[in-house]
Amino acid sequence: MNNEGARRDQRRFPRYTVQIPVLVHRHGTDVSISTADVSRHGAFLRTSERLPLRQLVQLRFRCPGVGDVEAMCMVARLVGADHPRGPGAGVDLFALSKDAKKAWEHFIAELRARDTFDDAAPAPSPGRAPTTPVPGDGAKARPDWLINQPTLAEALPRTTTPFARVSPLAVGTEAPPPPPAAPIAPSVDEHGRATAHGSVVMMRFPDVTTLRYFLTTDLERGGTFLHTPLVKEIGQKIDVVMLHPETDDEFHLEGTVIRRVLSGRAEARGLGIFFKALTPQTREQLEDFAAGGIEIVDLANVVTDRQLELEAAVAREPDSAEALEALGSYLLDEASDLGGALTALTRALVLGPSVVSIHASLARAYRRIGDTVRVRAHERVAEALLHMQDRLRVSFGVGEPPSAA
């Protein structure tokens, strides 16, 4: 085993031994394989098929008691038949929906509870044969140490025995087979580029030094570029989850897609992400996370009464350019929500393409992310509209003609 593989096997992140069906969508077909073990942010797949290393694959994990979890995963490593767990592939979760992430977290929590319960069960006393619990015989058929313990149905109310390792309370039970799987809808566009259903993207760092470098460079500048084949729309919000390299804990950042590179060399393609401005409290939490891996799953979002009023106005008049412009300008100038501002102002522009102030606000928004092309385009349109308005005022006798230079 090479050094990298040895380091991975010595990692502190817990893996849970469980065999569940997995569908791999490749070349227009679904191939059924299974897991050997899973972790909070990945899995090891038993397969003799050679998956593309360092490439994204579309997977559907069939998790008993939870449901199907679809995710785009990065093939992180391949091992052969001589490996203790081989042949197979280790995959890292890369992009998935928020609902899928919650379902996966729930599945991992059940596995953690299963292992904790199994490890806590004491061994039978020396010289005393263990008592085998018989379903339906009540507490008398259970060994002394189990009499006051919860039943499996109480411990795992949504499942019977969904796991490869059987709990000592589950003798005589059998996991029901999963329902037939529907084909995976291919997550690619008409050009074959990956399009994730979800809005959660994982960021991994090889060590703490690299994590701190990211915090002091990209995050300080307000954004980063993700090298990925995923396709997202400009203005779409995504949850960027930073994973601590030593503790596997998470820190969530709210990001907005502001740039897309979909052509050219494969290694140059990706998404430009703008991060929402961090509050002083969030910066302290981020420092704690970098120092010790303290998990921050949900950053508090304070919504002011003014924002609620503006959003209510848009809800009442969704086709009002004025209401959308007011909301967009507030999000841009007061709430530091660039993604929300771009969304609202772009919708306003569709409804009011000749409104000078909308173009001016969009120019300010794009200036913040350094998109000089769009800045200049909106400024030129605003200047042309102002010039046209001046000429109309003169023609109606309500304005002065421009002085000759």
Q: Domains of the chain: which residue ranges?
A: 1-198, 200-292, 305-395
Confidence of residue 23 (pLDDT cuts 50, 70, 90): very high
Least confident of 2-6, 293-297, 370-374: 2-6
What CATH number belongs to 200-292?
2.40.10.220
Q: Give dist(CA 191, CA 186) in Å, integer.
A: 12
Check residue 47 and give its pLDDT: 92
Query: What is the pairing mode between strands 200-204 and 237-243?
Result: parallel
Nearest Cα to 72, choosing from 88, 46, 87, 52? 52
Whether 384 shows a pLDDT value over 80: the answer reads yes
Whether 376 shows a pLDDT value over 50: the answer reads yes
Please, is 304 exposed, middle or buried when counting C-beta atoms within 10 Å of its C-beta (0-12, 13-18, 19+)? exposed
Average pLDDT, integer, range 245-256: 87
200-292 and 305-395 share one fold: no
Check residue 379 and give its pLDDT: 92
Domain covering 1-198: architecture? Beta Barrel (2.40)
Q: Give dist(CA 292, CA 276) in Å, integer.
A: 23
Question: How do residues 100-124 score in pLDDT, each as one tens digit?
Answer: 999 999 999 999 888 876 665 555 5
DSSP 46-107: E-SS---TTSEEEEEEEETTTEEEEEEEEEEEEE-TTSTT-SEEEEEEEEE-HHHHHHHHHH
What's the whole-number average pLDDT of the chain? 76
298's CB contacts (< 8 A; 6+ apart) are 252
The CATH number corresponding to 305-395 among 1.25.40.10, 2.60.40.3140, 1.10.3720.10, 1.10.150.20 equals 1.25.40.10
Between 212 and 151, the more confident residue is 212
Q: Give dist(CA 73, CA 25) in Å, integer.
A: 11
Q: Give dist(CA 269, CA 232) in Å, integer.
A: 12
Tokens of 124: 């039978």
What is the four-CA torsion angle of 213, 215, 216, 222, rounded to 10 degrees? Answer: 130
Question: How do residues 298-307 score in pLDDT, each as one tens digit?
Answer: 544 567 888 8
Instruction: Provide, rounded to the nearest whole percent, the portion of the chain with pLDDT above 90.
Output: 25
